[in-house]
Structure 1
Amino acid sequence: MDDHDGGRVGQLRVEDPWTGAPAVGPWEEPHAVSDGWAVAAGGDRAAVYREVQAGEEFRAVRRRYRRFAFPASAVFFVWYLAYVVAATTAPGLMGRPVLGEVNVAMVAGLAQFVTTFGLTWAYARHARLRRDQAALDVRWETQERTR
């Protein structure tokens, strides 16, 4: 036996903190009041979350997210795909030297990393300036209504 279990023989117990967590969504109504989830100050929590989700503030946060994430993802995907297609179909172009032993393929490959970091920075900046405060406001309102 190992020293950490005191030499006791038995089954290893792992307690899952999510065992009693509620699983309430648009497909499922909350369980009985005994689990501490079903009733909030102004009604049941599921109704509060559905109402907040249908609200204009929540939709505005989602809209701001989509306006950035979808175009940025599409542009990055096209850029990546262009690199892969060029590497497979135009080996002469990709093998052309740029500076000494550094060729076009190496520059484009490193540009993929630079683009990834740039996109990450732009996403974090966009979230900080356009969504974070509004999302926190929606979260605060939801938490206040479910107490």
Structure 2
Amino acid sequence: MSDTESAPPGSIDYVAVEQSPQFVELKKRHRSFVFPMAVAFLLWYFAYVLLSSFAPDFMAQRVSGDITLGLLLGLGQFVTTFVITMTYVAFANRKLDPLSSEIRGELEAQEASK
């Protein structure tokens, strides 16, 4: 089915839904969080990889006993992953889920009325 054809009788026109202002806003909200967060995390990740490859003396600096700066930064990668996940869940609950529920409710009402 091309973009210009309408949906078959009795079904939802998902192309129209995708082009609706609500869905466009949902995608905008999602991208406004995901893209900057992904870029920030990738920069942090590649900085760690580059430091471990090209600055071994820096990464080998002892912080306390056998704990090195490289070890702390490596563990920070895991912490960052969990923080990003928790932040995204909170963001989705607050900003994405209400709008997606509204869209879903409208689609279910359309389907029920057919």
The question of a shared fold, defined as TM-score above 0.5 by the shorter chain, is answered with yes
Question: How far apart in 1 are the matches of 2:78 and 2:88?
Answer: 15
Q: Which has the higher contact order (CA 8 A, sep 6+)?
A: 2
Q: Structure 2: state its 5+ residue gaps.
A: none
Contact 1:64 1:130 in 2 (8 A): yes
Q: Which residue of 1 aligns with 2:87?
A: 122
What is the aligned-residue identity percentage?
30
- Paired positions, count: 112
TM-score by length of 2: 0.89
Cα-to-partner distance string for 1:14-44 (whole Å, 9 max, x where unaligned):
xxxxxxxxxx7859986xxxxxxx422xxx4
Q: Which amino acid aligns with 2:73?
A: A
Shift of 1:146: 2.5
RMSD between superposed Cα atoms in Å: 2.0
The match for 2:54 among 78, 81, 89 is 89
Question: How far apart in 1 are the matches of 2:21 and 2:80?
Answer: 34
Q: Structure 1: state its 5+ residue gaps.
A: 1-23, 31-37
Cα-to-partner distance string for 1:54-113 (whole Å, 9 max, x where unaligned):
111111111000000000000000000000000000000000101110001100000000
Shift of 1:142: 1.3
Higher-Rg structure is: 1
Q: Which residue of 1 aligns with 2:97?
A: 132
The match for 2:39 among 74, 77, 89 is 74
Structure 1 runs (4+) deviating above 4 angstroms are 24-30
Q: Which amino acid aligns with 2:101?
A: L
